[in-house]
Structure 1
Amino acid sequence: MFDVVVDEKSGPDGSWVPTALERRLAGERAAHRRRPLHEQLASSLPGGALLDRLDLLDAEEADDAALVEMVAAARRVEAHAHQVALRAAAALADRPSMQPGALAEHTRGPVGVAGDELALRLRTTKSEGHRLVRRGRAVQTVLTRTGSALALGQIDQTRAAAITDGVEGVPWQVAMAVEDAVIERAPRRTAAQVRADVAKALIAVDPAEAEGRARARRAERRVSRPRALPDGVASLRVEGPATEVHALDVALESAARAAKHEGDARTLEQLRFDALTGLGSQALATGTFGGCGCAGPSAGAGAGAGAGAGAGAGGVVADGTSAPATDGGPAPSGTPLGVIGGRRPHIQVTIPFDQLLPDRHEGEMSGAAIAGSDVPILAGYGPIAPTTARAVAAGGIWRRLVTDPVTGTVLDIGRTRYRPPPGMAELVRARDGTCVRPGCSHQADHCQLDHTIPFGSGGRTGVSNLGPLCTRDHLLKTHGDFTVTQIEPGVFEWTTPAGYQYRRERDGATTNLGAGTPGAPRRDPEDGRDPPF
């Protein structure tokens, strides 16, 4: 009267009996565990399970081969995670909240704001935020094989970027054909080799448009803004037609070798650098760019500041001298320098007043005393050594800005003035230093001054309602659904289309206030006067 159901996994006594497939999988797992650790790691797919295992491994106990594979496995997990980030960035960019219609009418840049949203959250540049979006859309639509290889850890994000960036802007049919030509070999190639493979395939697949693409890239030639490096060093990146870049390289090398032949003690790399940077020192001293500047010495910034020098053998400037003057010599030829921020171009250094004193010693300042306003700041770079700051404080092509060492209040703008002038715009730019969007590094001198509360909406023209914004961030505030509040002079709170709030502190640091956190009320003086800062 009862139906008897026989479980195929149960024996006569009801015990569990594995299927043939389960027996095979169990055998493979056992064999896998018997293999050396480095072989186990090399054959593991990226993901959470692999990351968990890596976290539990003791690097001190692993042999050399296992340590190598631990690094490789971690990089595969990193690639997998990057693919997740690209996928999420692409999905975010498709949300209606990230596509304010008004912005498209006012910019030739990205019309979506997902990249700007991500840049704030990730504490990175707007360019990097928009690159995440572009690459994410590429691997989710046209370059799906690249996305799959990245997710499996077969290629890292650098090689994936070599493919996505290499076919950016070409028709989708061409992009897919190029991907098909390079993706199989990409796991066995370096990033530089993948870039070369993409360039070669692009010409082979679409030779008719190769010259057009080259013209477009030539039109995008650029020199980057300085990128800060440790110990008072910075770098510039030059991008442009290969012939012009190589011509510059050959000229620098020739000048350096000529100086070396004349007995200069500097290294070739130092000579190449000094030949190039001498152009900038000379231009700021003479007011023109590109003149010969060979009339003799002048009062420049000095060797302590790393100033440029007079022309030496092969056009390489000599150590310890300054840029040539025009007094008593021929007028310099070249392109006259323009005006930046309403003033002649200059290099600005912010120096706490007490560090200008001649009896100041480096060792007198304890580590606890160091704060954001306690060390000299080179605009566009960051902190520099007090000895370097004092060397340039005398003037020349440099412009010093002296502050109170306790409060950070601006005491002097210019070379000898110790009280703020009435120029409100100059004071606001000096106070904020850069664009006031959290994380933006555009120098205030190159920014527009924005009324935080629009003038047409009753906003006052005062230091508590002004802040420098670069062109992109000004557009985001005006047309991109980003809102800004200046809760006190020099402190700005931003709310993004996704509802996140960030506070840009007076020292440029960013505080994440989270999603939906109401900002503090704006503090306007009741008597209508501008508060001190």
Structure 2
Amino acid sequence: MESGTERILEDAYAEAALQWPDVPLEHLISDEDELEDPAEQRMRSAVEHASVYSLVSRLQGARSQESRSSRRLPDTLNLLRAAERLAAWAAAQRTRLVAEVYGLGNAANHSWSGEGDSLRFTEAATETAALLKLSEGAATRLVSESLSLTGHLQKTLTALEDGRICAGRTSVIVEQARTLPEEALPAFEREILESAPQLNRPKLAARCRRLREKLHPDTLSARRAQAFSDRRVVLEPAQDGMAWLSGYLPAEQAVAIFTSVDAAARNLRGGDESRTLAQLRADVFADTLLGSPSGGASGSTAKVLVTVPVFSLMGLTDEPAELEGYGPIPADVARELAANAPSFMRLLTHPYSGAVLRLDRTRYRPSEDLRTWVKVRDKTCSFYGCNRPASRCEIDHVIAWSEDGRTCEDNLYPLCKRHHMLKHQSGWTPDPNPSGGLSWTSPGGQTYSSPPEPTPSDISLTAAVLQKINRPSGIESTTHPQQPEPPPF
């Protein structure tokens, strides 16, 4: 005899099945249809708005041999998206249930120093670890994250449940929000959720770091000074006679070390060299620390780019600078690097807009200044989701020079070698996005766009300083001060 739950599920499956066409999806779209056919758009929309039961029903129907043999790439991509939405929903339910395990614990068990160390919390983590076969460290993180999502970050949990973000990106948001004071969390969550659905995990982490620095009530310099006392080097044993050696260092030191190691490793490539770039980096790193530099390492001239607001460099404001490959660093650190570190290349930004010069539009090969600006503007490879630093990318014309494409900042974007090849050898097609960056259309007909970085406010701290400088003493200005020409590189 069927249980009540089984009957409910069977009824739900039957109801969900009625929402889909009676004929297979692939029969709705002929081979000659364009990738952006309205029928295909409707099917994508159906996946995005389907209920959980509809997603389950659709995925169950996709398991048949007949369905697999007749599907096209766009159909399979829609099913993959359905599976991802379902996984996100399941992750949200796990989050609620883990928080409930904590809530059902003995409320009197608060004999230790705080929530993270309380006996009640430890009991929940231990119970979860045993049930889910997790290490106690992983279970502790899961319980802590679940309490954050069911507490101050409930809109993030809703986004996970709706399938707008996945479990991995949810963890990024929770981790970056963890050190913000409670009063700053609503603004952080509201702003980051506007762009999170369009970003992959590395891009989202970078966006979260910048937003966290913007919203944190304590200055970046003060937090840097406190974190500086925790610097350390850690040895972690691994399998097969190997180990991990990592260092917790000031960002500018860590980036400079990696950039130098990378440049030295690249100098060693070529000829009969059989080692991969990753292996060369490891060998250069070890040889340098042990006092036996690899051949070719001494000839490297690595440069690290630091983008500094001009008045911040002058000491008139404390707006953070941007360290390539990392993100925001304190203004006082940037000033020290500009004065005393020749391996760091400084780029000044316009006081109001952050813009720099428009350069060479008349020749195929961009000038060095224009190449530098394009890499600074985009920070990473412009392919959707790629996080390779722009400094290690090639510069590509979106509209080919042979097709009257111009050599100017609007038509130049950084692409790593892998995605540069993909653009020219496959069906991936870029188009400039009106809001900035590129939109990429895949061979399967999907279009992906990364939201642009937030623009600076109209009146920043730097702009306020400029207004004060330009305003004659004793006269109130009712007009916006004239913007000066952007400073040279």
Structure 1 length-normalised TM: 0.42
> Counting helix residues as a fraction of each chain, which structure ranks higher?
2
Structure 2 length-normalised TM: 0.45
Query: Which structure would you say has the larger Rg?
Result: 1
